[in-house]
Structure 1
Amino acid sequence: MASCQKAKKALKVVPAEIEKVNSVEVDAVSGAPATSRAIKEAVSEAIKKAKN
């Protein structure tokens, strides 16, 4: 259950940090590295597609 809560935290924190610093180079949420990485990769792909 704790890992689910950490993943939910990552879903809130990572996008907010990306927007705040205008970059996908943000720290992962402790305990949710896979979720954090997946969010950053998805945002990176969306940016690449938007530029094309």
Structure 2
Amino acid sequence: MSALKAKTAKIHAEMASADKRRFFEETRKRMLEAQSKEMREEEWEAEIEMMKMFKTR
């Protein structure tokens, strides 16, 4: 019986670590997406500023 409990505990630990890893991967992915979105917005703002400069000439 204790061997079964040990095996079950090991499986639960592996599942928990897989869940943690998945959580951190998802979080990292969301952070990178947010960062790239922010960069795109900054690039657009820069483009708009350039267009305004060319229009005023």
Q: Higher relative contact order by CA 8 Å / sep ≥ 6: 1 or 2?
A: 1
Q: Over alpha carbons, which structure has the higher Rg?
A: 2
Q: Counting helix residues as a fraction of each chain, which structure ranks higher? A: 2
Query: TM-score band, normalised by the shorter chain?
Result: 0.3 to 0.5
Scaled by the length of structure 1, the TM-score of the pair is 0.42
